[in-house]
Amino acid sequence: MRKREVFEILQWGKRYDERTGKFTIDIRYKTSTEITPRTIAVAEAFGLGVDQYQEHVVYDNIELKIEPKDIVYITGDSGSGKSVLLKALERDLGYQAINMANVKIEPKKPLIDTVGNTIEDGLELLSRVGLNDAFLFVRRYNQLSDGQKYRYRLAKLLESGKQFWVMDEFCATLDRDTAKIVAYNLQKLARQEGKAVLAATTHTDLFEDLKPSVHIHKRFGKEIEVKYYPNEINKECSLVKEMHVAEASRQDYYQLAGFHYRSHKVAGVRKIFCLKRGMELCGVVVYSYPPPACFGRRMVLPKMSMRELNQKLSIISRVIVHPKYRTIGLGHTLIRETLDHAGTPDVEAVAVMARYNPFFERAGMRKIAESPPVKSAFKIAEALKTLGFNITVLRSPKYVLRKLESLSSQQLSMLKEAFAENKHPRFMKEFSFHDPYGKSKFYKKAVEIADSEKLAKLIGICGMLLQTKVYLFWRCARANEFTT
C-alpha cells in the first residue's frame, strides 16, 4: 500500500526591514493522511476522504515592529506556533542574534575560568547574574542547580556582545519563583546593556517581572494578539513586594550562615535584622561593635577611645541573601532599611564583594577607600611562599592542613615565629573567648603552642587579609539626636 505525503510546507514567508525593525511573517502548511488499514477504517467510519488535505495557517502576513532594544514576550499554548515564530525571527536577524540554548558550555572547568577576559571581568559578570558567591565562582557548570545554570547562561549572553538574545521555552523548567527572578534580572541586564530579548514560553505569569515592550500572544490557527508598551526598566521584582524587614535573632542568622563563604562565627553582635517573605527567611544583615582599628576609618572619623567607638559606630559584619533570591536587590534593600536602626549614628563596612557589586553604595553608603593587602599578612605570606605554600589557595583548609603535615618541626617553628612577629587583631581574635578582639599579651604564647588546626585557621585569615577590600561609611541624617 502506497504512502502519501503527511506534512508539507506551503509557504514560509519572512520579510525583515532592518531599517524600520519591521518583520512580516507568513507561514502555512498542509497535512494529509498516511494510508494504512486503520486510517482507512477511520475514514470510512467518519465519512472522511482518505486523500483529503488540510491546510493550516500559522501566521497570515503578520507585521511585527521590533526594535534592537525591545523586550519581546511570546506566549501561547504548546503547539500554537511560538517556536516557529521565534525561529523565523532568529533566522532573519542572523549574526546579530544569539540563542541561549547555543551558548558554549565548558562543564569541566570552574565557572571563573569560563567567563571574562580577566578574573575581574569574570567576577563582575557572574556577580551581575546572581552567581555572586565565592563557593560558586569555583564550581563547575554541572554542579549548578537549574536556576543557577540559567543565570550562568545569562552571563554568557552578556559576554557575547550580540544585540538580540533569543530563548525558547523560557524558564519552562524552573519553579515559578525562580522563573520570576530570572525574568526580572534578564530585562534589567538587557535594558542596562541596550540589548533586545526574544523570549517564548507557555507561561503567562512572567509579564510583570519581564515587563515586555512587545507582547505577542499566539492562539491556535492564525489568531494572534500583539500589544506594544513603553520600553522601561522594571525596577522591582514582584516577589520583593511580598517581603518585609524585621528584627532577627542569632538563630535566624545561623539558618543562612552556610551560604556565606566566611566563618559562621560573628563577634560583638549589636543587632540582627532579616528579610522575610511570609515565614520564609530570604536574607539577613548583622551589625556588630566596631574593631579597634580599621583602614579608611581615619578618613571619616577622628581618633576615638574604644568606649566612644562603641557608642557611635557599628560595623556591618555579615550580609547574606538566600541564593534563590539573589539579583533582585535584597542586599541593598536589607541595608537601606536597617541603617537607621543600627543603634549608632555611624556605620562602616569592609567588603571584598563591594569591588564587584556596589550594593552597599545603592543602599546609601559612601565608598571611602580600597585597602591594599595588610602589611603583616603580606610578610607572613612571604614566609609561607618560602615554605612552599600556594598563596592563591590559603583559604582552602584541606590544602593548608596537608601542607602543614608535610612541614618539619623546624619549618613549623619558622611559621609560628612569622605569625608571632606579625600580629594583627584578626589573628589575636582566634585566641580569645571573652574579648572579641583578643589581647596582645597572650598572643605570642598562644601561637607557640598552637596545633595544626589552629595554624590552618590563622593561615586562612592571612589569605583573607591579603584580599583588596573596600571601606564604606554611612552617617545618619539625625546624627545629632544620638547621645554620647
Same domain, 98 and 217: yes
* CATH number of the structural domain spanning residue 74: 3.40.50.300
**Residue written as grid cell 539558618:** 255
Domain assignment present for residue 417? The answer is yes
* Beta-ladder partners of 392: none
Domain assignment present for residue 476? The answer is no
**Residue written as grid cell 541624617:** 477
Domain assignment present for residue 456? The answer is yes
Same domain, 211 and 306: no
Section 158-172 average pLDDT? 95
Last residue of some domain: 200, 228, 256?
Answer: 228
Q: What is the pLDDT of residue 234?
A: 96
Same domain, 56 and 75: no
Same domain, 175 and 312: no
The domain in which residue 41 lies consists of 1-64
Last residue of some domain: 64, 82, 111?
Answer: 64
Last residue of some domain: 332, 361, 390?
Answer: 361
Q: What is the pLDDT of residue 251?
A: 94
**Residue written as grid cell 565557572:** 111
Quickly state the pLDDT bin for 12 (edges 50, 70, 90).
Answer: very low
Sheet of 54-65, strand order = 7-17, 22-31, 54-65
Q: What is the pLDDT of residue 7?
A: 39
Domain assignment present for residue 475? The answer is no
* Residue 244, H or E segment: strand 243-247
Section 237-241 average pLDDT? 96
Count up the domains in the chain and report the number: 4
**pLDDT greater at residue 274 or residue 351:** 274
Q: What is the pLDDT of residue 29?
A: 62
Same domain, 41 and 10: yes
Same domain, 141 and 178: yes
Domain assignment present for residue 471? The answer is no
pTM of the model: 0.76
Same domain, 95 and 217: yes
Q: 195: which residues sit within 8 A by CB, 6+ positions away?
A: 69, 157, 162, 163, 164, 165, 189
Same domain, 380 and 304: no
Domain assignment present for residue 109? The answer is yes
**pLDDT greater at residue 396 or residue 309:** 309
Domain assignment present for residue 79? The answer is yes
Checking DSSP bridges between strand 269-277 and strand 280-288, what pairing results, if any? antiparallel
Same domain, 402 and 282: no
* CATH number of the structural domain spanning residue 316: 3.40.630.30
Per-residue burial over 187-220, b = 16 or more CB atoms within 10 Å of its CB, e = otherwise: bbbbbeeebbbbbbbebeebeebbbbbbbbbbee
